[in-house]
Amino acid sequence: MQTEQVVPIRTPESSFDDEVVTVIGPDGKVRPEADPKLPVEQVLDLYKAMVRTRIIDTQLERLQRQGRIGFHIGSLGEEACIIGSAAAMRPQDWIFPCYREFGALLWRGFPLQSYVDNMFGNAEDVVMGRQMPDHYSGKKYNFGSVSSPIGTQMTQAVGFGWAAKKKGTDTVVSVYFGEGATSSNDFHTGMNFAGVMDAPVIFLCRNNRWAISVPSEKQTASKTFADKGVAYGVPAVRVDGNDFLATYAVVRECVEKSAKGEGPFLVEMLTYRVGGHSTSDDPRAYRASDEVDSWRQTDPLVRGRKHLDTLDAWSDAEDEAFRKDTEAELKACIAAAEEKPKPALSTMFEGVYDETPWHLKEQQEQCENGPRAKEHH
Amino acid sequence: MQTEQVVPIRTPESSFDDEVVTVIGPDGKVRPEADPKLPVEQVLDLYKAMVRTRIIDTQLERLQRQGRIGFHIGSLGEEACIIGSAAAMRPQDWIFPCYREFGALLWRGFPLQSYVDNMFGNAEDVVMGRQMPDHYSGKKYNFGSVSSPIGTQMTQAVGFGWAAKKKGTDTVVSVYFGEGATSSNDFHTGMNFAGVMDAPVIFLCRNNRWAISVPSEKQTASKTFADKGVAYGVPAVRVDGNDFLATYAVVRECVEKSAKGEGPFLVEMLTYRVGGHSTSDDPRAYRASDEVDSWRQTDPLVRGRKHLDTLDAWSDAEDEAFRKDTEAELKACIAAAEEKPKPALSTMFEGVYDETPWHLKEQQEQCENGPRAKEHH
Amino acid sequence: MPQMNLVQAVNSALRTEMRNDEDVIVLGEDVGKVGGVFRVTQGLFDEFGDDRVIDTPLAEGGIIGTAIGMALYGLRPVPEIQFSDFIFPAFDQIVSEAAKFRYRSGGEYTVPMVIRTPVGGGIRGGHYHSQSPESLFIHTAGLKVVCPSNPYDAKGLLLSAIRDDDPVLFFEPKRVYRAVKMDVPEDEYTIPIGKAKVVREGEDVTVVGWGAMLFEALASADEVAEEGVSAEVIDLRTLWPVDIDTIVESVKKTGRLVIVHEAPKACGFGAELLSLVTEKAFVHLEAPPVRVTGWDTPFPYTLEMEYLPLQHRITPALLETAKYIP
Amino acid sequence: MPQMNLVQAVNSALRTEMRNDEDVIVLGEDVGKVGGVFRVTQGLFDEFGDDRVIDTPLAEGGIIGTAIGMALYGLRPVPEIQFSDFIFPAFDQIVSEAAKFRYRSGGEYTVPMVIRTPVGGGIRGGHYHSQSPESLFIHTAGLKVVCPSNPYDAKGLLLSAIRDDDPVLFFEPKRVYRAVKMDVPEDEYTIPIGKAKVVREGEDVTVVGWGAMLFEALASADEVAEEGVSAEVIDLRTLWPVDIDTIVESVKKTGRLVIVHEAPKACGFGAELLSLVTEKAFVHLEAPPVRVTGWDTPFPYTLEMEYLPLQHRITPALLETAKYIP
Ligand SMILES: Cc1ncc(C[n+]2csc(CCOP(=O)(O)OP(=O)(O)O)c2C)c(N)n1
Ligand SMILES: Cc1ncc(C[n+]2csc(CCOP(=O)(O)OP(=O)(O)O)c2C)c(N)n1
Ligand SMILES: [Mg+2]
Ligand SMILES: [Mg+2]
């Protein structure tokens, strides 16, 4: 038996590994080819949204350390890809979140007070304190519902987008997930169904290099995450996720194409999770501080600020004032949220079904007529 | 807002769509470049195994129509890719089956009588009549266990192959599945884990164009099934699955590479399901007969026979005699299997766990001391 | 009135509601051109087209996940899982997502979706074409679970299920699919979710069953009648939320209870029924309630008739329970 | 003897058995360098290397599927599912494959595998970091289910589980992880699977619990003792196959039964326990057995202490049951 003959087994080649869309250069100047050429006020709005996100993250982390809220999962270092992609969606479009995109939620107009109420799980929390902090729902803002199980939002976004298209709208749906989530069942079925059903869905992969303690190299042997589009016939693109204009431009182009029926798309947004996975995590146990330091150099806010300088659109004093105002606004929201009562006992039993069935009524009665629990200990 | 700029969104290109390894030409002659150059006796063995598989399929389908067995799932038209790939595995290698590869099981030396006993689910069935026909298990033959849920064998094969490698062996594992199964969760996780774990596993995709009534074009929007390797960094190749020498050559090369630590591989074997999905299915309800007819032209047995003619290795008389002998052998096995009793009642309760726990002993007692059921009605 | 079997009745319900409401979408493996492996969706593809009757790729998680997305948008998807044994790849989407969406979103999002799937044994299906996983879904808050035993109920319950604003698991007893024919109106009618039916009145012992086992329970009731035992037979129809009043009322009368189901005994729905009745009617119980169920083994092939809780096992349970002297 | 908490005891069991048997492999999300999100596998990566302590991609089905493959080969994998709420993407591999492998292959293949996973609430985890899905696995023939309440039992049971030739679900009560310290031998010892423990003897009422709720049951037993009620407390330790003899024996003595678990009531394991006791000790029951459980809702966040069946709910149940007059 001999097998010296040549059989064309292909070690797959990447179509993507050296092409990453960038707009803002290190000097803050734009590469005109890919520049979305947004009006200055809009650039400023995007920048301010990133700053606001950063401020909120910083404060909530502090609150958690003080034991005033139970949990927070933030977006330190990932603000550009979140705000840039959210801003690229048109008002009629929908956003299906992962758990790290409160910046997108607020961009959509969700009131800061409501968001903070969610962090406290109080009586005015839109989800009635039923879920952990950062597990909000924003239907009025064309924004989905956060759940913890990784990936599930992807197939849902596909069904939603397909439905919108069948109803004759030009609605596009974007769906966020981390690079770790590409290993999930729902990435596979979501991408595959999207490809087969021609769904107007933009898969937004935040490749922040880490899935809790697992680095992206251990997540998959594919050359890039964008390459995964090939398996589903879904066009893909890689973008500098720390560049809000590049992210905006790329996602906007996908939106316009999807709206014309040319979707779905997969966008790999290259960024970095500068903080811990969440307030429950201490990343010093598994990654080198110089890696983090080198990523701090690429801070999307610093880059954004440099760009504003090239536009002469924003002064240090304005920046200072904006930060102060935002902090004050947030402080007021926190103070208000902290004052609000817990959700009523009845909210635990209602809303499991449209109409509460007998067994839950019975249990509610038992609970309400029984003794109260001690507080958390 | 303008977005006329060019963003390099890639519509994925296929690395595979016009390259399919073939060895035996329409005239039966081999293309020497890819020819595995097997000794004539071995070529003959492969051919005979294909013929035997065909004969068994034909007979079992008849038995099922007569109501003598409950079910059969055959490989009509797919014999070349099943036998060619099975033969390419070395004795120390393992095969994890889907449900259509009894030909591979028999190639491995599993006794025909045992296989037929499995078809009857009788007392001598290796799985004790606990599963449907064609759900056998062949551990002594380095052969896995058939279950119905699509795809599950793939991740299992990866764990098994990884374990074998860690134990210092050069064992390679091949795992069969249909092109429909590429949509399953386990294809995704199996391929991804194989890529990350460098497992010596050969993923054998029988692309027979149909998943029950769903044609392969509706299964995925990827250009080919081989292209899916890209998503996992797994090298891939497409082969003419109706050409037993081509399949042998390709899989053999993968085996040799995998044994050296260069696996995993994905092999797309292009073939066609000439029969119904199983004896429960009538494909005339969903596909055109001329499609089937045109595939009959590519019958792997006819092609194999033509190749033997070029070798002058096999006469019509020999062919006839071999078919007669096989039919007689099978007939005897069927007669014997039909005579055998059902599995004992106790086999229903034993073997759920290593040691039967109290509740099953109690249930066994209840059952054995209670009245017997009527037969199937 | 036309005679229909259960396959035809379900088909008729789907067709009726698809004509009424263009938001009703059928999707699943092989549901399109070929009309499903049991032919339940036959003809729908031709009438409603491939936009409303969708052959999906082979991925149950994808079927349910996209159906949830459709429901979130406002459609009323009716996904089919080819066999309920193959529902497990979709388990996460069902229990983590569909079941919890309304609650977790503070009522913003709802998932009006009916998961249709054949259930149960007796068709030579072995391990993976015979199981009855209802108790897993009953344990999951937020889901409703329905299992009709006959064509008439099937149509009326399916119409209710599709119009229901919560996710419903709709289990179709495949052994009954073509075994029973009865009058079923062409027109629409509904049977309320959550209401059981006393299908035979009796005095001495209550039998609770559903799906294919209902017929076995009825046959046993006939059989024990010859021995002077009068059995009251209840067809649950809706498993969850269960119609506890009908059961408790009956047990208060008979003092005795036998529960029949195909699923394995341990943590099967029988345990819940037995417990509820014990909690609510303890003083009325004159005999220990009994469960006649599938054994706690995987579902076997050759011996499936010995596995199932058929008449030959129900009858002695009825007799013993009815004659039990406390 | 060193004092260990439950995290340390499980870690000690893993370390012990990995030193004994090089076929023991730990795999899961974040189990490697960082030692798991609860730090249960801390230090194993450094001692045994990345061949035996494997950080996997984020796919529970892949973790369990590859672990099954390893077990088929002859290894003894101990996969970790980060939270038992995230076990559902692996549900198909567990219930369709691991549970049925021995049976369906006529005993040719076995799956000696221990799925370790934190379970339960009380740590502000809300819907998806608090659930107790044990009954789903008890319903699945072929699986064993273990849930220790304390560090000593955890180590002994985990060593038994790893040496067991069947797949075991090993639920670790995360509320107990660091809450309790006790003497735990450095050396190896085993506690047999299938044996419950009477942790407090009593005469008037039997309380069955496990995991974190065991401590609540004990606290209630103390509380009711002040009112003159003597409660016998049983720590199940192994949920399935359950040690029914110990429970029945106790109920024969007390005539009264209270079952406590965190999971929702409907089709929870409490229903099975209640049913088994009713079947086996009906004539000894002097009061209706009672279940004190999580409510039939998704697990809430802010109100979780009102959701859980804590001391404040167990105590009244014990008093009522003990004082019930038939
Ligand atoms: C099904 C499931 N498994 C595990 C987890 C626990 N978990 C939460 S986030 C996370 C890592 C996610 O990484 P990635 O997808 O890259 O997103 P990132 O956190 O980096 O934004 C894990 C393992 C989960 N939430 N769901
Ligand atoms: C999880 C699961 N879903 C559905 C089925 C029903 N089913 C059995 S075979 C099959 C089609 C498989 O097609 P393919 O993978 O192409 O293999 P082929 O039958 O063509 O060899 C389906 C849908 C199943 N067995 N398992
Ligand atoms: Mg990440
Ligand atoms: Mg196929």
Tokens standing for residue A218 = 């251990």
Active site residues of A: 273, 277, 286
- pLDDT tens digit sequence for A79-115: 999 999 999 999 999 999 999 999 999 999 999 999 9
B185: contact with C, CB 8 A cutoff: yes
- pLDDT tens digit sequence for C69-119: 999 999 999 999 999 999 999 999 999 999 999 999 999 999 999 999 999
Lowest model confidence (mean pLDDT) among A202-211, A284-293, B362-371, D11-20? A284-293
B2: contact with A, CB 8 A cutoff: yes
- How many angstroms does the Cα of residue B271 sit away from the middle of ligand 4? 9
ipTM exceeding 0.90, yes/no: yes
Q: Which residues line ligand 2 (CB under 6 A)?
A: B 100, 148-150, 177-181, 206, 208, 210-212, 273, 277; C 29, 58, 60, 82, 86, 89
Question: Chain B contacts of C293, Cβ < 8 Å?
Answer: none
> Across residues D12-16, what is the average pLDDT?
98
- How many angstroms does the Cα of residue C57 sit away from the middle of ligand 3? 28
How high is the pLDDT of residue A374? 85
CB contact under 8 A, D241 and B359: yes
**Confidence class of residue A7 from pLDDT cuts 50, 70 and 90?**
low
**Beta-carbon neighbour count of residue B8 at 10 Å?**
15
Of the residues B122, B146, B184, B369, the best mutation for testing chain C's interface (the one with the most C CB atoms within 10 Å of its CB) is: B184
Helix axes B40-65, B316-339, angle to 10 degrees: 40
Cα within 13 Å of Cα(A49), Cβ side: 27
Which three-class secondary structure state does DSSP give residue B238?
strand
| A130 CA to centre of own chain | 21
Mean residue pLDDT of chain B comes to: 95
Question: Do residues A239 and A212 touch, judged by C-beta distance below 8 A?
Answer: no
Same fold, C3-183 and C197-322: yes
Cβ-based contacts under 8 A for chains C and D: 122
Which residue of B277, B279, B286 sits with most ligand 2 atoms within 8 Å of its CB, as the best mutation to test the pocket? Answer: B277
> Across residues A266-277, what is the average pLDDT?
97
Tokens standing for residue C138 = 């009953």
Q: Tell me the C-alpha distance between C173 and B280, whole Å.
A: 18
Q: Tell me the C-alpha distance between B291 and C268, whole Å.
A: 48
- How many angstroms does the Cα of residue B179 sit away from the middle of ligand 4? 5
Helix axes A185-197, B185-197, angle to 10 degrees: 120
Q: Tell me the C-alpha distance between A91 and A259, whole Å.
A: 13
Q: H/E element holding D116?
A: strand D114-119
Q: How far is D299 from chain A (nearest CA, A)?
A: 8
- What is the number of the ligand 1 atom nearest to the C-alpha of A179? 16
- Please choose, from the candidates C24, C43, C23, the residue with its C-alpha nearest in 3D space to the C-alpha of residue C32: C43
Helix axes A244-259, A79-88, angle to 10 degrees: 30
CB contact under 8 A, A253 and B19: no
- Please choose, from the candidates D81, D58, D71, the residue with its C-alpha nearest in 3D space to the C-alpha of residue D109: D71
**Confidence class of residue C52 from pLDDT cuts 50, 70 and 90?**
very high
CB contact under 8 A, D272 and C267: yes
Question: Do residues C255 and C202 touch, judged by C-beta distance below 8 A?
Answer: no
**Confidence class of residue B5 from pLDDT cuts 50, 70 and 90?**
very low
Answer yes or no: is pLDDT of A18 > 90.
no
> Across residues B51-59, what is the average pLDDT?
98
**Domain regions of chain B by residue span:** 12-343, 345-377
CB contact under 8 A, A3 and B257: no
Q: How big is chain B by its Cα radius of gyration, in Å? A: 22
CB contact under 8 A, D141 and C297: yes
Question: Chain C contacts of A353, Cβ < 8 Å?
Answer: 102, 142, 144, 166, 241
CB contact under 8 A, A7 and B253: yes
How high is the pLDDT of residue A4? 43
CB contact under 8 A, D302 and A129: yes
Question: Do residues D137 and D238 touch, judged by C-beta distance below 8 A?
Answer: no
CB contact under 8 A, D275 and C274: yes
- DSSP H stretches of helix in B201-288: 244-259
**Which chains have 3 or more CB–CB distances shorter than 8 Å to chain A?**
B, C, D
Which residue of A57, A82, A212 sits with most ligand 1 atoms within 8 Å of its CB, as the best mutation to test the pocket? Answer: A212
Known catalytic residue at B286: yes
Q: Tell me the C-alpha distance between A221 and B268, whole Å.
A: 20
Question: Chain B contacts of D66, Cβ < 8 Å?
Answer: 155-156, 158-159, 162, 193, 197
Burial string for C50-82 (b: 16+ CB within 10 Å, else e) reads: eebbbbbbbbbbbbbbbbbbbbbbebbbbbbbb
Which three-class secondary structure state does DSSP give residue A256?
helix
pTM for the whole structure? 0.98
How high is the pLDDT of residue A8? 73
How high is the pLDDT of residue A226? 95
Phi, psi of A95 (to 5 degrees): -120, 125
Q: Tell me the C-alpha distance between D117 and A248, whole Å.
A: 41
> Across residues D216-223, what is the average pLDDT?
98
Ligand 1 atom 17, closest CA: A178
**Beta-carbon neighbour count of residue C324 at 10 Å?**
15
Question: What percent of chain A clears pLDDT 90, i.e. is strictly above it?
Answer: 89
| D188 CA to centre of own chain | 20
Answer yes or no: is pLDDT of B2 > 50.
no
Give the CATH class of C197-322.
Answer: alpha beta
Q: Tokens 């010995």 correspond to what residue?
A: C306
Q: What is the DSSP string of D216-237?
A: HHHHHHHHHHTTT--EEEEE-S
A178 lines ligand 1 (CB under 6 A): yes
- How many angstroms does the Cα of residue A7 sit away from the middle of ligand 4? 24
Q: How far is D53 from chain B (nearest CA, A)?
A: 13
CB contact under 8 A, B155 and D141: no
Q: H/E element holding B327?
A: helix B316-339
Question: What percent of chain B clears pLDDT 70, i.e. is strictly above it?
Answer: 97
How high is the pLDDT of residue A223? 93
Per DSSP bridges, beta strands B173-178 and B143-145 are unpaired
Question: Chain D contacts of A372, Cβ < 8 Å?
Answer: 306, 312
A16: contact with B, CB 8 A cutoff: yes
Of the residues B3, B13, B225, the best mutation for testing chain A's interface (the one with the most A CB atoms within 10 Å of its CB) is: B3
Which residue of A99, A150, A213 sits with most ligand 1 atoms within 8 Å of its CB, as the best mutation to test the pocket? Answer: A150
- Residue from the list D142, D240, D282 with its beta carbon closest to the beta carbon of C298: D142
CB contact under 8 A, B10 and A254: no
Question: Chain A contacts of B42, Cβ < 8 Å?
Answer: 1
Give the domain B12-343 fold. Answer: Rossmann fold (3.40.50)
- What is the number of the ligand 1 atom nearest to the C-alpha of A184? 1
> Across residues C129-153, what is the average pLDDT?
98
Question: Chain B contacts of A214, Cβ < 8 Å?
Answer: none
Q: Tell me the C-alpha distance between B360 and C11, whole Å.
A: 40
Burial string for A171-189 (b: 16+ CB within 10 Å, else e) reads: bbbbbbbbbbbbbbbbbbb
Mean residue pLDDT of chain C comes to: 98
Give the domain C3-183 fold. Answer: Rossmann fold (3.40.50)
- Nearest ligand to residue B151 Cα: 2
CB contact under 8 A, D312 and A374: yes
**Which chains have 3 or more CB–CB distances shorter than 8 Å to chain C?**
A, B, D
Per DSSP bridges, beta strands D197-200 and D231-235 are antiparallel
Question: Chain D contacts of B128, Cβ < 8 Å?
Answer: 106
Of the residues D22, D29, D73, D246, the best mutation for testing chain B's interface (the one with the most B CB atoms within 10 Å of its CB) is: D73
Question: Do residues C164 and C158 touch, judged by C-beta distance below 8 A?
Answer: no
- Please choose, from the candidates A351, A58, C112, A127, the residue with its C-alpha nearest in 3D space to the C-alpha of residue D128: A127
| B325 CA to centre of own chain | 24
> Across residues A216-241, what is the average pLDDT?
96
Which residue of C38, C86, C93, C174 sits with most ligand 2 atoms within 8 Å of its CB, as the best mutation to test the pocket? Answer: C86
- Residue from the list B9, B14, B232 with its beta carbon closest to the beta carbon of A222: B232
> Across residues D175-199, what is the average pLDDT?
98
Nearest chain D residue (CA) to A123 = D302
Q: Tokens 């699923």 correspond to what residue?
A: C263
**Confidence class of residue D163 from pLDDT cuts 50, 70 and 90?**
very high
Which three-class secondary structure state does DSSP give residue C78?
strand
Q: How big is the CA angle at C246 (ends C245 and C252), to the nearest 5 degrees?
A: 85
Answer yes or no: is pLDDT of C158 > 80.
yes
B217: contact with C, CB 8 A cutoff: no
Tokens standing for residue D7 = 């995290």
Phi, psi of A4 (to 5 degrees): -70, -15
**Domain regions of chain C by residue span:** 3-183, 197-322
- What is the number of the ligand 2 atom nearest to the C-alpha of B278? 19
- Nearest ligand to residue B184 Cα: 2
Question: Chain B contacts of D164, Cβ < 8 Å?
Answer: 354
